[in-house]
Amino acid sequence: MSHSAKKTTGNDEGPAPSLPPEATAAPKIPAYERLLNLEQSLDHLPIGVTVYDADFRLLTWNSTAVEILGAPPGLLRNNMPVTDLIAHLVTMGFYGVVNSTELVDQRRRQLSEGDLTRENQVNDGRILELRGSPTPAGGYVYISQDVTAQRRAETATKELAAIVASSESSILSLSTDGIIVSWNPGAEKLYGYTAEEAIGQPFRLLTGDSAQAENQDSVWQRALRGEQPAQTIGQRTHKDGHIFSLSLRMSPIFGDDGTVGGVSGVAHDITEQLRIERALAEQRDQLQLLNGQQNRLFSIIAHDLRTPFNSLLGFSEILNQNAATLNPAEISEYAKIMHGSALQANSLLETLLEWSRLQMGGLKSVPRPFDVMIAMEKAAEFNKAGAANKEITIDRPEQALSTALADPQMVDTVLRNFLANAIKFTKTGGVDSMGRCNIR
């Protein structure tokens, strides 16, 4: 390809003359000014910077390095051997109780071997991180940084993580939109889901029906509003389908700006605890029932035993006061009545004991057919002495009544009490008619 020359006329301006390179290049900054700008920039860094030559002599440093090292004014100087700096810091106790010569040798060896990164805990408790790198000129640049707060936070985080991981309680955290963010082994044990199955899922995963979901959502909403954690009792559904009871407390997680950035939840399985509480409540109710039955038993004993003992006391008093004037037939009659009263008292005690065992579950009612007339005869015989004391006649029907299906001992007790009360509230010389009793 050939190129023809462009023809020009007198009016042509021709190509613009090119400027010399000096006219277009940026003005050069003197080296000392660049160094000054660099040093000023270094002084504004939040980390300490020290620069050494190949012989480990100090070339430059920033004010943060002086502050971190705690060096007195004027200690750092140009061409200062690093061994002098280390020796001075050892004298100040910066590294605790160490041998200055041994420490200097150790540092020089570490530098020569390229081990340029390390951490030191100094005598005031601070933790300093030192990072070194070689320079193109064969020297070294050291970056020093106080990482005490960071290391303590890391340690606290690890300790907290260990506590959470070893806790028997279920501990989890949720995002503000209800997604599970963290999940400890306690949560896996409580709900049955592994961390891989639970993290990233909506926390509705932990509920089996709408009632459980409503209980959980109400606690979560309170935490989202920043309210203080409140304990709630509810039910949840395990992964395998069984329902358990739990105690749940959800707390807001506040961000640096004070807003709620998430929710943490701590839960315990209280199924067994509630079962024990219900059992204790049932036992308490049973004891109250037994106490009531015991009181009723004492009341019946006091009532039913009064009749035969009144008879014993009355006739024994007659014998005691009139034995000398009574004839043998009268004494025999009184003795017979007293003996009958004693038999009645003994029979009553046995019946009451059986009744108490029935009330306390030690004896069961056994209904069977029996002749009601015989039961009425026994009740009349039992109350014979009491009726005689008040000169009361007990009128009984002559014909046999129908057979009843009931527990005979219980019926005997009812009839005895019924007739005893009738005698008690009948005037002296009256008549109690058992024939008018409606026995069913």
Q: Which two tokens stand for residue 156?
A: 């606290």
Whole-number pLDDT of residue 430? 67
* Residues 364, 122: Cα–Cα separation, whole Å: 85
Give the CA-trace dihedral at 291, 295, 301, 307, to 10 degrees.
-170
Q: Please give the DSSP secondary-structure letter assigned to residue 126.
A: -
CATH topology of domain 280-436: Heat Shock Protein 90 (3.30.565)
* 381-426 pLDDT per residue, tens: 777 777 777 788 877 666 656 788 888 877 887 887 788 778 878 8
| Tokens found for residue 346 | 């003994």
Residue 9 has what pLDDT?
38
**Nearest-CA neighbor of 416 among 303, 295, 292, 296?**
303
- 205 neighbors 237 (Cβ within 8 angstroms): no
Q: What is the per-residue pLDDT across 273-307, written as a single tens digit (0 to 9) for each?
A: 999 999 999 999 888 887 887 777 777 777 777 77
Where do runs of H (alpha helix) occur along 134-209?
148-166, 185-191, 195-198
Q: Does domain 31-152 have CATH number 3.40.50.2030?
A: no
Q: Could you tell me the two tokens for 416?
A: 């005895």
In the CATH hierarchy, which fold is given to the domain comprising 168-269?
Beta-Lactamase (3.30.450)
CA–CA separation, 22 vs 19, rounded Å? 8
Fold agreement between 31-152 and 280-436: no
Distances in whole angstroms, Cα of residue 68 to Cα of each of 50, 51, 87, 110: 11, 15, 17, 21
Tell which residue, 237, 271, 267, 236, has the closest CA to residue 251: 267
Domain ranges of the chain: 31-152, 168-269, 280-436
Of 296, 254, 246, 239, nearest to 271 by C-alpha is 246
Model pLDDT for residues 75-115, shown as the tens digit of each residue: 888 899 888 888 888 887 777 777 777 877 777 777 667 66
Which tokens belong to 11?
Answer: 């009016």
